[in-house]
Copies of this chain bind each other. A is one copy, B any other.
Amino acid sequence: MERARAVIPNGMYGHESVALLPEGYPQFFSRAEGARLWDVDGNEYLDYMCAFGPNLFGYGHAEIDTAAAAQRARGDTMTGPGEAMVAFAEAMVAQVSHADWAMFCKNGTDATSMAVATARAHTGRGKILVGRGTYHGASGWAIQRASRGLMPEDKAHVIHFRYNDVESLADAVKMAGDDLAGIMITPFRHEVFQDQFLPDPAFLQFARESCDRAGALLIVDDVRAGFRLDRDCSIEAYGVSPDLSCWGKAIANGQPVSALLGVEKARQAAGSIVATGSFWFSAVPMAAGVATMRAIRETDYLERTIARGTALREGLQQQAAAHGFTLRQTGPAQMPQILFEEDPDFRFGYAWVTEALDRGVYLSPYHNMFICSALTEADVRLTLERTDDAFAALKARRSSVQPVEKIQPLVEAIRAANR
């Protein structure tokens, strides 16, 4: 950290910074394997963050890494793409029922920004509707919290609605008038420092109908949740199909690639936007993506992650009760958010994950977590042994736990935005 602070502003930045985590969380890691992680001091952790999403099948997954290595021996970043890019596009189009075509990029933000441009190109209109407080990436149009370096014009054509609130979405549609280009939604609400919640089917249906009525495009931002809830786009289970969907994180099990998928009617518009990046066409992530799609199709990874997440959730709920705490465990079990009831300043949550970390379990006190399919039943049992000790330790110092001062301004800002 000392070396890092000398040559990197604040020592680190972005979503993998430990700035908002409790003191003692390690910033740098030396090794990762399966569902485990070792920090640079040699401490081993059961990792429930999965690199914030990319790790779906386990770090260093044999078949996916073998496919990547075979491609790497031939070529990676070349003067043009490899055949693997076509194979990956074919595999994603085969896997995702609404998709007729695919475009690959690098960041999740690339995919959501390309979706916005495609909706505007398709409709010839400007307004994009997004959920208030919803994270869709780190570009000016998407950043909602007051941030230095942004201009008001970045969001000139973005209108916010309240997620799951049909009336609020109807107001936003009305505000867009005849300039509605698209509505962007996450498949469920997965925001920091908040309970997660699933979409109301009537809300999804209303978003779909609003786009159909206006000739606008319905966009699903599946960057974080894609292939973790379903082997298809995450909202298909609700009987709602988008026109565009944004993917990233887990689609190549940690190799850097994101994607925009779309329906036939949006193909021409997608082909008309300016979108490119130095490493977007590198062959290795494409080959890893093909192998990842095969694993998604052919393995029980989804059922496994749900089963492990459910076992963890049930075990934690019992432990919390036994030690006199109540947890709010929200969202899909395989993407758990774990907050404490009656913990408005997050002091108990922060203290509990610190106790867990000290016992080799890496949890987040504010960000949704992820279960990878390399996590075994024995790993969950081991986790629960350790979290039980963590609850006991928390109970013992319950009355002396201090609030977490550094997060209070952010927590307040989030509460205000949600009001």
- Which residues on A are within 8 Å of B, measured CB to CB? 3-4, 6-10, 12-16, 18, 26-33, 37, 39-40, 47, 49-55, 59-60, 74-83, 85-86, 89-90, 93, 100-103, 106-110, 113, 116-121, 126, 138-139, 143, 145, 147-151, 153-154, 156-157, 223, 248-249, 254-256, 258, 267-283, 362
Q: Is A79 a contact partner of B49 (Cβ separation < 8 A)? A: yes
Shortest C-beta distance, A288 to chain B (Å), equals: 10
Closest partner residue, chain B, to A127 (CB atom): B151
Q: Is A106 a contact partner of B279 (Cβ separation < 8 A)? A: yes
Q: Is B7 a contact partner of A90 (Cβ separation < 8 A)? A: yes
A49, A85, A267, A274 interface centre (most CB from chain B within 10 Å): A274
Q: List 17 A-B contacts (CB under 8 A).
A: A7-B89, A7-B100, A9-B268, A9-B270, A12-B81, A13-B276, A16-B80, A39-B80, A106-B107, A106-B256, A138-B274, A138-B275, A145-B274, A147-B273, A148-B273, A150-B274, A154-B154
Shortest C-beta distance, A104 to chain B (Å), equals: 8
Closest partner residue, chain B, to A282 (CB atom): B256
| Candidates B16, B39, B80, B276; contact of A138 at CB < 8 Å | B276
Shortest C-beta distance, A65 to chain B (Å), equals: 8
Q: Is A102 a contact partner of B7 (Cβ separation < 8 A)? A: yes
Number of identical protomers: 2
Q: Is A83 a contact partner of B149 (Cβ separation < 8 A)? A: no
Q: Is A278 a contact partner of B82 (Cβ separation < 8 A)? A: no
Shortest C-beta distance, A138 to chain B (Å), equals: 5
Q: Is B157 a contact partner of A153 (Cβ separation < 8 A)? A: yes
How many Å lie between the Cα of A150 and that of B75 in the bound state?
A: 34
Shortest C-beta distance, A123 to chain B (Å), equals: 10
Question: Given contacts A83-B28, A108-B278, A148-B272, is CB(A89)–CB(B4) below 8 Å?
Answer: yes
Closest partner residue, chain B, to A364 (CB atom): B79
| Candidates B157, B256, B280; contact of A278 at CB < 8 Å | B256
Q: Is B82 a contact partner of A29 (Cβ separation < 8 A)? A: yes
Residues of B within 8 A of A85 (CB): 4, 8, 28
Residues of B within 8 A of A10 (CB): 271
Q: Is A54 a contact partner of B279 (Cβ separation < 8 A)? A: yes
Residues of B within 8 A of A32 (CB): 74-76, 78-79
